[in-house]
Amino acid sequence: MEQQIKLVDVSGAPVREQAFWPTVVLPRAAIEAEIERLASLPRPANGRRAASINHPMNQGPVPAFAPGIDVHIEVLKPGEKTDPVMRNSSRVDMCIRGNGVVTIGQTQFKAEKFDVWNTPSMEPFSYRNESTDLFVRLSYSNAPLLEKLEVHYADLNPGASIKEAAVAGPADATAAAGPRARDMAKPIPIGSVGAQMLGYEWLVDIDTVESKALHWPWKEISPHLENVYGMDKAYTGRHLYVLYNPATERRIGTSHSFFATIAKLPPGKVDKPHRHSSVAINYIMWGHGKSVVNGQKIEWEAGDLHFSAPGWSVHNHASREEGFVALTIQDHPLHIAMESLLWQETLKEPIHKLGSNDGGIQTNLTSQLKAA
């Protein structure tokens, strides 16, 4: 039966009020219980024991912990490995227990507790556990967004695809080394302020920036966190470092969709209420504290996973007597690419469209520069 197209009159319609997903915490006890449940199961055919954390507000089409972001608890028992898979979604992972070997394309490394790494789109990846303990990871991906768009591609036999590409020959390398078709499709200026017309060749032969699998070992990250932990509580920024992937360029990401930051807050630090259009998910690595999100007060401690900032929700965080360390994942780079990253550092300050022509936000480190 032919589908009937409808025309919906939206003349003069008001802007739809956004439905914020409420802040929620998955406590450490629930995560540990799920790890043990997964470990008790027979090995799946592809070797991948995983549970996706689903927010109560999610309506699909796949489980998601934040709009457009899934978080999986993934478990490998000693001696096990997963079959390779290749997807056009990208991932950021953190090891939260044990250790294992990570293989992403031609890159291989050993991951230990609190190590972080990224998996670029369309790179085959697999894991193996050569230790005597469970190898447990939290894995964050943009798969729910691609599923919503109905464009999530997955190749469960990437070895065959790689062999086919090798047989076809290094067409891209040849094109890069010699003349390009788009060299003949000269830009056509339109108007006087920069508009152009470009031929089809520009759509299908885009300048590339190599996207690598990168690894941030905890043993190298940890000493640097003392720098932000020791900063004065009067500091107006966040006590953190971004795990930066140069392929993301000005989008300041760990992957092209997400940044991962590691924060270490001193005792008694209280952020000012602020908001941003990127969502935030915090994994508490050490310490404890509290948050207020859209007026809701919530407590959290080491081992908890906190959906801490629904997009454009007013929120702030506070550390207790020992401070805390946390991994935060935000879809900040994706919003910069879409020109939708709104940021309000305090509710008394103007709303900024970060990465655009209205400038950025300055912390009080600028006063130290002036003093120097």
Is residue 74 included in any domain, yes or no? yes
Quick one: 234 and 353 in the same domain?
yes
> If you average pLDDT over residues 117-125, what whole number do you get?
98
Number of domains the chain contains: 2
pLDDT above 70: percentage of residues in the chain: 94
Predicted model pTM: 0.93
Confidence of residue 150 (pLDDT cuts 50, 70, 90): very high
Quick one: 259 and 136 in the same domain?
no
Quick one: 60 and 149 in the same domain?
yes
The CATH number assigned to the domain holding 138 equals 2.60.120.10
Which pLDDT tens digit goes with each residue over 65-98?
999 999 999 999 999 999 999 999 999 999 999 9
Instruction: Annotate 24-75 with three-state secondary structure.
Output: EEECHHHHHHHHHHHHHCCCCCCCCEEEECCCCCCCCCCCCCECCEEEEEEE
User: How far is the C-alpha of 301 from the C-alpha of 129, rounded, in Å?
Assistant: 28
Domain boundary pick from 119, 140, 155: 155
Is residue 79 included in any domain, yes or no? yes
Residue 100 pLDDT exceeds 50: yes
Quick one: 30 and 131 in the same domain?
yes
Which pLDDT tens digit goes with each residue over 127-136?
999 999 999 9
Domain boundary pick from 155, 185, 206: 155
What pLDDT score does 178 carry? 80
What pLDDT score does 174 carry? 44
Residue 368 pLDDT exceeds 90: no
What pLDDT score does 163 carry? 59
User: How far is the C-alpha of 70 from the C-alpha of 307, rounded, in Å?
Assistant: 11
Sign for the CA dihedral angle at 266, 237, 27, 49 comes to: negative
Please give the mean pLDDT across all residues of the chain. Answer: 93
pLDDT above 90: percentage of residues in the chain: 88
> If you average pLDDT over residues 115-123, what whole number do you get?
98
Is residue 173 included in any domain, yes or no? no
Quick one: 32 and 112 in the same domain?
yes
| Cα distance between the two ends of the chain | 74
Sign for the CA dihedral angle at 179, 181, 182, 183 comes to: positive
CA distances 167 to 74, 106, 110, 160, 161, Å, are 34, 18, 31, 11, 10
Structure tokens at 99: 């250790």
What pLDDT score does 372 carry? 46
User: How far is the C-alpha of 245 from the C-alpha of 256, rounded, in Å?
Assistant: 9
What pLDDT score does 169 carry? 52
Quick one: 263 and 133 in the same domain?
no
Residue 177 pLDDT exceeds 90: no
Quick one: 241 and 349 in the same domain?
yes
Is residue 320 included in any domain, yes or no? yes
> If you average pLDDT over residues 266-288, what whole number do you get?
97
Between 355 and 108, whose confidence is greater? 108
Domain boundary pick from 137, 155, 173: 155
Is residue 5 included in any domain, yes or no? no
Confidence of residue 176 (pLDDT cuts 50, 70, 90): low
Quick one: 132 and 239 in the same domain?
no
The sheet carrying 125-128 orders its strands as 107-111, 100-104, 125-128
Which pLDDT tens digit goes with each residue over 197-235?
999 999 999 999 999 999 999 999 999 999 999 999 899
Quick one: 276 and 350 in the same domain?
yes
Q: Residue 63: which domain range?
A: 24-155
What pLDDT score does 3 carry? 86
Are 223 and 231 spatial neighbours (Cβ–Cβ below 8 Å)? Answer: no
> If you average pLDDT over residues 3-25, what whole number do you get?
95
What pLDDT score does 222 carry? 98
Is residue 367 included in any domain, yes or no? no
Residue 159 pLDDT exceeds 90: no
Q: Which amino acid belongs to residue 215?
A: H
